[in-house]
Structure 1
Amino acid sequence: MDRKSAILMLGIFLIGLVGAPRLAIGGEGKAPRVGDSFLGVDKRQHFVGSLIQTVFWGKLAEQRFHVQAPKTLLIGGGITFSMGIAKEIRDARQPWNHFCWKDLVADALGVAVGLVILNQP
């Protein structure tokens, strides 16, 4: 990854962390869904995390394992979105958590932007 791409990725990562609240997990039952909007901090973190992972896995496949495009896009997007689905399934099994389809939408949008970045020459 060149210097310009690394700086861009670091900037996107830091933007995703801005304003992130501390999470307190405890109590019984499901976590409250207060503020679970598409513009909330959690969704921004899902978006940015998926974007970064997509580019990371795609570039790793390209540079470390010499995989050529378009397979790098499939690898980056496939691994990242699979991890997002696995996380939501895990969340659904935790008594204090819940499956959130909005998280998957944010993950999918992050993967899409990551694929656009990966597709740049």
Structure 2
Amino acid sequence: MRYLLLCGVLLLSGCSHMANDSWSGQDKAQHFIASALLSVAGNEYAQHQGIGRDRSAAIGVMFSLGLGASKELWDSRSEGSGWSWKDFAWDLAGATTGYTVWQLAQH
């Protein structure tokens, strides 16, 4: 886990430029909804593969956040819109909401 975190920090430190965006907007809702759905899908898929409930939850959230981070890394290219911590914060909120909804549906 430490190595994964270290790789993430090193990758993110190379962003070519940052976005100048607001906290609200249509793209923020899209980040939230997509991350929630990806988290639920990852949770459900992992559980159908015979993985335990707690581990499935972690896989779902990390799947969602991994795709969100990849999208922001793509945006950070010189031709892109720039890395947005605000977009990533909405990704995090969506992934945790998806996780919560999935957990509640399991009871």
1-side partners of 2:83 and 2:22: how far apart? Answer: 14
Aligned-residue Cα RMSD (Å) equals: 1.7
Which amino acid is the alignment partner of residue 67 of structure 1? I
Q: Tell me which stretches of 4 or more aligned residues in structure 1 moved more than 3 Å.
A: none
Q: 1:75: which partner in 2?
A: 59
1-side partners of 2:32 and 2:78: how far apart? Answer: 22
How many residues were matched structurally? Answer: 88
**CA displacement at 1:90 relative to structure 2:** 1.1
2-side partners of 1:96 and 1:73: how far apart? Answer: 32
Q: For 2:83, which of 82, 86, 99 is the aligned residue?
A: 99
**CA displacement at 1:68 relative to structure 2:** 1.4
5+ long unaligned stretches in structure 1:
1-29
2-side partners of 1:57 and 1:98: how far apart? Answer: 27
Structure 1 residues 70, 96: CA separation in 2 closer, same or farther (over 3 Å shift)? closer
- Compute the TM-score of the two structures, normalised by the length of structure 2: 0.75
Q: Is the Cα contact below 8 Å between 2:74 and 2:80 reproduced in 1?
A: no
**CA displacement at 1:115 relative to structure 2:** 0.9
2-side partners of 1:94 and 1:58: how far apart? Answer: 34
**CA displacement at 1:77 relative to structure 2:** 0.3
Structure 1 residues 96, 78: CA separation in 2 closer, same or farther (over 3 Å shift)? closer
Q: 2:25: which partner in 1?
A: 40
5+ long unaligned stretches in structure 2:
1-16
Q: 1:89: which partner in 2?
A: 73
- Compute the TM-score of the two structures, normalised by the length of structure 1: 0.67
1-side partners of 2:85 and 2:53: how far apart? Answer: 30
Which amino acid is the alignment partner of residue 55 of structure 2? K
**CA displacement at 1:39 relative to structure 2:** 2.3
Select the structure that is richer in helix: 2
Q: Deviations over 1:55-102 (max 9, x none)?
A: 001101112x01111001110001110111111111101414211110
2-side partners of 1:57 and 1:77: how far apart? Answer: 7
